[in-house]
Structure 1
Amino acid sequence: MKRLALAGLAVLACSTAAAADRQARADADAYPSTYAPIAAAPTLIRGATVLTGTGTRLDGADVLIVDGRIAELGRGLRAPAGAREIDGAGKWVTPGIIDVHSHLGVYPSPGLDSLADGNEMSAPDTAQVWAEHSVWPQDPGFNTARAGGVTTLQILPGSANLFGGRSVVLKNVPAVTYQGMKFPDAQQGLKMACGENPKRVYGEGKGQAPMTRMGNVAGYRAAFAKAAAYKRKRDAAAGNGDDDKDPPERDLQMDTLAGVLDGDIRVHIHCYRADEMATMIDLSKEFGFQIAAFHHGVEAYKLADRLAQERICGALWADWWGFKMEAYDGIQENIALVDRPPNGCAIVHSDSEEGIQRLNQEAGKVMGRAARIGMPVTPEHAIQWLTLNAARSLGIDDRTGTLEAGKMGDVVVWDRDPFSVYAHAEKVFVDGALLYDRDDPARQPVSDFMLGQEGVR
C-alpha cells in the first residue's frame, strides 16, 4: 500500500512538472513571431571594401548571399544561376546596423498623445508590460531607419519606472503586425532605470516611492526578493524541490522578474552615473543575474575596466551630455574608452527616431575624438560598435552582426567609407532580400500611414 502511495506521488510530481513545462512553453509562444524572410534570388556583390564585423577588412572582395544567408566571402567568386550582381567598385559593404535602444513603434511619428505608448507610468514597477504590445508597425520611422542601414533593433519601454517592462527585438521589415517583424527566438529584455527618472516621476511632491536614489535601490531589492520567493515556489511545484508543492498564483510581474533570475530575460539598464552602475552590478550579484548592457552611461568611462571584467556592454551616445545633472560628466571619448580589451563591449545606440538614421556618423564622431587623444580606431574595428557588439548584447550574435558564412544576409552597401559624414546607405538587404535601394523608388517602402500624404508615392 505504501509502495502504491509513493508511486502515486511520483506520478503526481511528474505530471506537475510536465504541466509547469507546458505552461512555460505556452508563455514563450503566447505572442509568437510570424516573421518569414522574403524570398529573393542570390546576390553577388563584387569588388568592394568589406568590413566583416569580425575585426577584418577585405579589400576588393566579393560577398555572396544565397537563400537569405551569407554563403561566401572572397575574391573571384562565381555567381549562381539567376543571381543579381552588384558592382562594388568604390563601395563599402558592412553587416546591417543593429540599434539596441529604440522606441520606434511605441513612440511613433507623428508624436501625438494618442500614439504615445512607451511609458506605463502607473507604478514604479511595471515589469508585467511588454513593449511589443504597443508597437505600431506603420511608424514611418522604421523606413527611415532602414534607409540609414538599420536591419535589426530592440524596442524598449520608456525609463520612467524602476522596472519598465519587457523589450522586443525586431527585424526591420515592413509588416502589418509586430509579430511579422519579431526576430525569431530572440530573448526578451527587461528595461530597468536608475537615477533621476524614477525618483522624479514618482517623487517630487507626489508622495509616492521612490523619492530618492536609496528608494530606487530599495525598490529593486524588494521586487527581486519577492521574485526569488515566487521562483522557489514555482520550481518546487515543478518537482525541482522538496518543500511546498502548491504552485503560486500566477503573477505576470513576477513572471518577468523570475525570468531574469532564470537567465531567460536579458537585463538592460538606463543608468548614467558610474557610482550607480557599480551599485547595480552589486544588485545583480546579490540576486544572481547578469546585466547585458548599461544604456546611455555617460560616465561609463570611469569604470570601463569593471564593465569589461563583468562582461557588461555599454550602449552609449557619441556626444549627448549635460541635459540633466546625471548626464553632466560626459566626455566625447566615452565609447572609445569603454572599448577596453579584451572583453570590453562598446555599442553606439540612438534612443532617437532621428539619431537612428545616422548611427554610422555617430560612430565616426567617436573615431575622430579617439584619434585626437592618440587612440586611433580602424573602420574594421569601429563597425563592431554598430553590429557585433550590439548583437552580442541581445544574444543574437550567433545569427547576425557579422558577415560570416551561415549568418543572416543582413547587409548594407555604402557609397563610400560608412564613417564619413557624406556616406549614404545605397542598398540594404535583410535576410538576403533587397528592402531599400537609394536609386530605386520601388525599393523604398512607404508606411501605410504615409500613403496618400502629400508628396508621398
Structure 2
Amino acid sequence: MKAIVSATIETVTGDAIENGTILFDNTGILAVGEGLVPPEGADVIDGKGLFVSPGLVDAHTHLGVFVQGYPESMADGNEKTNPLTPQLRVIDAVYPHDPGFVDALSGGVTCVQVLPGSANVVGGQGAILKTRVDVVDKMVVQAPSGMKAALGENPVRVYGEKSNTPMTRMGSASLMRQALNDALNYREKKEEAERKGDFFEKNLGMEALLPVIEKKMPLRVHSHRADDIATAIRIAEEFQILYTIEHCTEGHLMAPYLAEKNVMAAVGPTLVGRSKLELKNKSWETLTALYNAGVHFCIITDHPVIPIDQFIVCASLACHAGLPREVALKAVTLWGAEHLGIADKVGSLEAGKDADIVLWDGDPLDARSHVLKTFIDGEEAYSLS
C-alpha cells in the first residue's frame, strides 16, 4: 500500500481537501480524506506543500500512430486509399515506444483515447489506453472505443486532389450516410441468413459498423466548422446513433443549439495557430460559451498537434480566458472520462477507482508547477527525480 499524506488533494468531485491523505495500491484508490492514518508498513510520501490530482484524461490523441521524430511518410494514422475504412483498428498501428507516451507521463496524463486521423469519412476504430509503456495490449482500457469519422476540409482535400468522392462537404455527408445505410442492410441480410440457417459471408467493414448502428459504440465525428457540426448531428439523428463532436472549433457560434441537442464535445486543439480555413474562428471563447450554455465538453490536445505534455497548460489558458478553475480541472480529468464512458474507472479521486494519481509541486493549473510523480494503477510510472 502507498499513502500520500499532508497534501492538498484535488478530488475533482468536491472541494479540495487541505492536509489530506490518499491511500492506494494496485487494486485502486482505497480511501481519500482528512485524518486518515496509513497502516503500518505502508509506503508513505510526505505531501506537505504539494498537490495531488487525478491522472489527466485526454479524450482525443494520435499517440503512437503519428510517432514523434518519424517522417510523415511513415505515419500510420491515415489509410488514404478509400474514404470508407471502418474495418481499420488503431490498436494495430499504435507504437508504444513513441516518445509521446513518456511525455504524457511527465505531464500527468495517465489515460488517452487514440484515434485514426481524419483523412477518411469513416476512418476506423479507436482505443482507450493507459500511458504506462508496455505491450500495447496490456495498455488497453477499452478497444474499440468509438468509430472515427470526419467531415470538413480533410477528406475533401485528400480525395478531391485525386478527383474522387468526396470533393465537397455534400460528398462527405453522402458517403457517411451510405456507410451507415449499408450497415443497416447488412444487418438485415445477416439476420435473415441466420434465421434460415444459410451461409453468410462476413464483411469486416460492415461488422465494425454494427456496434454503431446498434447504439453500442459512438461515432466520433471530426467537425470544426459550424455547418459540419450541424451535419454530424443531423446524420446521427437520422440513424439514431450515439455520437460525439470532436474538435467543435466553432461551437461557440451555436452553443445553445448544442445544448438543446445534448451534444458531448471534445474541444481542441486550441493552443495552435489557424493553419487552415476551418480554424479561422478558433477561440478560447468556445470553452466558456459551451460551459455557459450547459454543453458537456472536455479539453483535448489532438497530440501531436499540441504536445501532450502541455495538456495542463491548455486548462490553465482556459482559466485565463474565463473558465472557472474547478471547471478547467474537470475538463482535463472527469469530463474527459465521461466523454469516453469510463468515468466509473478514472477521472476523479474516489475510493474504488483506478489509482491513477499525479503528485505536483504546486497548483496543477499554475503553468509553473511540475509533475513530481505519476502513478498508474497504483504503480509509479514516472518520477521527476
TM-score by length of 2: 0.94
Q: Distance in 1 between matches of 2:173 and 2:73?
A: 33
Aligned with residue 89 of structure 2, among 111, 124, 130: 130
1:55/1:381 contact within 8 Å kept: no
- AA partner of residue 195 (structure 1): G
Specify the alignment match of 1:267 in structure 2.
219
Is the alpha carbon distance of 1:366 and 1:304 closer, same or farther for their aligned partners in structure 2, counting shifts above 3 Å? Answer: same
Q: Distance in 1 between matches of 2:253 and 2:194?
A: 44
2:78/2:116 contact within 8 Å kept: yes
Q: Distance in 1 between matches of 2:97 and 2:73?
A: 14
TM-score by length of 1: 0.80
Specify the alignment match of 2:360 in structure 1.
414
Specify the alignment match of 1:400 in structure 2.
346
C-alpha deviation, 1:265, in angstroms: 2.2
Q: Distance in 1 between matches of 2:14 and 2:259?
A: 18
Aligned with residue 214 of structure 1, among 170, 174, 179: 170
Is the alpha carbon distance of 1:309 and 1:94 closer, same or farther for their aligned partners in structure 2, counting shifts above 3 Å? Answer: farther
Specify the alignment match of 1:453 in structure 2.
none
Q: Percent identity?
A: 36
Specify the alignment match of 2:313 in structure 1.
361
C-alpha deviation, 1:320, in angstroms: 3.2
Specify the alignment match of 2:237 in structure 1.
285
Aligned with residue 138 of structure 2, among 157, 180, 183: 180
Specify the alignment match of 2:158 in structure 1.
201
Is the alpha carbon distance of 1:309 and 1:397 closer, same or farther for their aligned partners in structure 2, counting shifts above 3 Å? Answer: farther
C-alpha deviation, 1:355, in angstroms: 2.3
Pair 1:320 & 2:272 matched = yes
Q: Distance in 1 between matches of 2:265 and 2:371?
A: 25
C-alpha deviation, 1:186, in angstroms: 5.2
Aligned with residue 389 of structure 1, among 321, 335, 339: 335
Specify the alignment match of 2:104 in structure 1.
145
Specify the alignment match of 1:93 in structure 2.
52
SS in 2 for 1:423: coil
Structure 2: 5+ residue runs without aligned partners? none
Query: Number of residues paired by the alignment?
Result: 383
1:308/1:340 contact within 8 Å kept: no
- AA partner of residue 214 (structure 1): M
Is the alpha carbon distance of 1:186 and 1:361 closer, same or farther for their aligned partners in structure 2, counting shifts above 3 Å? Answer: same
Deviates more, 1:108-117 or 1:82-91: 108-117
C-alpha deviation, 1:102, in angstroms: 1.2
1:347/1:390 contact within 8 Å kept: yes
- AA partner of residue 103 (structure 1): H
SS in 2 for 1:360: helix
- AA partner of residue 170 (structure 2): M
SS in 1 for 2:9: strand
- AA partner of residue 138 (structure 2): G
Aligned with residue 228 of structure 2, among 271, 276, 285: 276
- The one-character-per-residue Cα deviations of 1:8-55 (angstroms, maximum 9, x if unpaired) are xxxxxxxxxxxxxxxxxxxxxxxxxxxxxxxxxx11111222211224
Is the alpha carbon distance of 1:413 and 1:267 closer, same or farther for their aligned partners in structure 2, counting shifts above 3 Å? Answer: same
Deviates more, 1:312-321 or 1:68-77: 312-321
Deviates more, 1:105-114 or 1:344-353: 105-114
Q: Distance in 2 between matches of 1:158 and 1:137?
A: 17
- The one-character-per-residue Cα deviations of 1:409-444 (angstroms, maximum 9, x if unpaired) are 0011111111112011111010111111112xxxxx
Is the alpha carbon distance of 1:327 and 1:245 closer, same or farther for their aligned partners in structure 2, counting shifts above 3 Å? Answer: farther
Q: Distance in 2 between matches of 1:415 and 1:403?
A: 18
After the TM superposition, which residues 215-364 of structure 1 pair with which residues of structure 2 at under 5 Å, given as runs? 215-238=171-194, 246=198, 248-291=200-243, 293-317=244-268, 318-340=270-292, 342=294, 344-353=295-304, 355-364=307-316
C-alpha deviation, 1:404, in angstroms: 0.8
Aligned with residue 36 of structure 2, among 77, 82, 104: 77
2:67/2:95 contact within 8 Å kept: yes
C-alpha deviation, 1:156, in angstroms: 0.8
C-alpha deviation, 1:132, in angstroms: 0.6
2:96/2:136 contact within 8 Å kept: yes
- AA partner of residue 354 (structure 2): M
- AA partner of residue 277 (structure 2): M
C-alpha deviation, 1:262, in angstroms: 1.4
Q: Distance in 2 between matches of 1:144 and 1:287?
A: 39
Pair 1:435 & 2:377 matched = no
- AA partner of residue 341 (structure 2): G
- AA partner of residue 312 (structure 1): V
Deviates more, 1:121-130 or 1:352-361: 352-361
C-alpha deviation, 1:125, in angstroms: 0.5
SS in 1 for 2:118: coil
Is the alpha carbon distance of 1:181 and 1:67 closer, same or farther for their aligned partners in structure 2, counting shifts above 3 Å? Answer: closer
Q: Distance in 2 between matches of 1:320 and 1:232?
A: 45
Q: Distance in 2 between matches of 1:56 and 1:235?
A: 52
C-alpha deviation, 1:233, in angstroms: 2.4
C-alpha deviation, 1:339, in angstroms: 2.2
Find the structure with the greater CA-based Rg.
1
2:25/2:377 contact within 8 Å kept: no
- AA partner of residue 324 (structure 2): V
C-alpha deviation, 1:383, in angstroms: 1.2
- AA partner of residue 180 (structure 1): K
- The one-character-per-residue Cα deviations of 1:174-207 (angstroms, maximum 9, x if unpaired) are 21x2112111x45421111100110110013x22
Is the alpha carbon distance of 1:360 and 1:247 closer, same or farther for their aligned partners in structure 2, counting shifts above 3 Å? Answer: farther
Q: Distance in 1 between matches of 2:14 and 2:206?
A: 41
C-alpha deviation, 1:238, in angstroms: 4.9
